[in-house]
Amino acid sequence: MHPEVEALGRWSVGVQLATVTLLAVFFVALTRTIRRQEVRVWAVAWVADALAIASAFLGAFLALPPIVLRSAVALYVAGKTAYALLVVTGAHSHLQPGASEPLKPPILAVAVAAWSFLLGFLSPGLKFVQVSVSLMIGVLLTTGAVWVLTRPRVPRSRWLGIAMFAEGLLFLHYVPLLLPTLWGSEALAGYTRYSSFLDTGAELFLALTILVVIERSSSDHLEHLNQELLASQERLRQLVDLDPLTSLANRRKLRAEMDRVRASGAAVIFLDLDNFKEINDLWGHIAGDACLLRVASALARIFRSDDALFRLGGDEFLVVAPGLDPDAVRERVEHLRAELAEAKGSVPPCRISVGIAALAPHGEPDLALREADDRMYDEKRRSKGQGERHRGGILPAVLT
């Protein structure tokens, strides 16, 4: 071979080795910041490719003993095979995140070792190895590319499929060009001596498309984490703002609701269970909880969907009904009273005292709440025929 041609061939392999080594270092570093399965798989793929190119460089341009040369060839085959398989495996991880890998590491290692030993130590010559490896890489990458192109996870995934397909076709086109070398003839195209330049371009294109899909995957992952965070915040907010037994709003939400309806005005309805202590004493706390749940269910059914329902603590409830006229309020209250007055299954009858007040548009919410509370206690005193009950209760906590 002409010395200048040999030097150019050596130079092309050196360029490919330097490029792939940089890619391997970059992707390994990338795994420290982007901890995703496909990134780790692709990083190993580039490391395997760098080892393959390094062994090819040493085997082609250094005078090595036969056994060392065969070992270098076997390492080249192993690296290139692992590279192609891992590129496809990384694409699978990208398209189906969280799914189990189609090729288990032990099976992959055995297959690569057997294939590399077969070509490295038992093949008739280096030309046979070159043709076999080109065919193997071409088939693996084009097959994987078709799978990616037909099942893109996002539009950018198609770029990965295109790059894999382009590199696969590049290796497949070497096969017919190199076939004559198997029986001692020259390759059908002289540029195959400098195929490393073409391989370098294809590998750079593939690396760029991998970075594109990694960026998209990372964005999707961050968006998913953000949605999970928002959902968690909403669940925490509900735990804080909702009564754990009845799932009605608690007193924490009352101030915000009163501010919301202040402009338009609302009916304010206080409710208190008259016989709640009696139910707890005679039937037990399970029956008492069932009574509270029955009241909450009846309130949700009788009042409107946009009315705010609260359990303020113990056996006291509140309804804030914006725009509900007094007659409609009284009608709903009587309906509630009649429904709770009858036993339902194992739940005993529940008697309630009710106080109703109107929050005028732009009125004072605290005054409306106190008025409704006063009227509820007046009704309770009348129903019991007793003196005024202690007023410490819940109002100071509600109104502050």
List, for residues 68-112, the tens digit of each pLDDT value.
Answer: 888 989 999 999 999 999 999 999 888 887 666 666 778 778 888
Per-residue pLDDT, 226: 77
Lowest mean pLDDT among 102-106, 189-193, 316-320: 102-106
Per-residue pLDDT, 196: 87
pLDDT > 80? residue 279: yes
- The order of strands in the sheet holding 316-322 is 308-313, 316-322, 266-273, 352-359
Per-residue pLDDT, 34: 86
385 pLDDT band, cuts 50/70/90, is low
383 pLDDT band, cuts 50/70/90, is confident
**What's the whole-model pTM score?**
0.61
Mean pLDDT calculated for residue range 154-177: 92
Per-residue pLDDT, 282: 85
pLDDT > 80? residue 132: yes
Per-residue pLDDT, 9: 61
Which pair of structure tokens corresponds to residue 85?
A: 């398989």
For residue 400, count other CB atoms closer than 10 A to its CB. 7
Per-residue pLDDT, 3: 52
CA dihedral 41, 46, 49, 53 (to 10 degrees): -170
Mean pLDDT calculated for residue range 378-400: 54
194 pLDDT band, cuts 50/70/90, is confident
pLDDT > 90? residue 195: no
Q: Which domains, ranges and CATH numbers included, belong to the chain?
A: 3-231 (1.20.1070.10), 251-399 (3.30.70.270)
Per-residue pLDDT, 65: 84
CA–CA gap between residue 385 and residue 147 (Å, rounded) = 82
**Residue, of 285 and 268, whose pLDDT is higher:** 268
**Closest by CA position to 345, among listed 293, 390, 381:** 293
252 pLDDT band, cuts 50/70/90, is confident
**Residue, of 14 and 139, whose pLDDT is higher:** 139
For residue 4, count other CB atoms closer than 10 A to its CB. 8
Give helix 3-33 / helix 37-61 axis angle, nearest 10°.
160
**Residue, of 154 and 399, whose pLDDT is higher:** 154
**Residue, of 96 and 62, whose pLDDT is higher:** 96
pLDDT > 70? residue 122: yes
Q: Which residues pair with 358 in a beta bridge?
A: 267
Which pair of structure tokens corresponds to residue 390?
A: 């202690």
Per-residue pLDDT, 336: 94
Per-residue pLDDT, 298: 94
Per-residue pLDDT, 83: 95
6 pLDDT band, cuts 50/70/90, is low
Q: What is the mean pLDDT of the chain?
A: 85
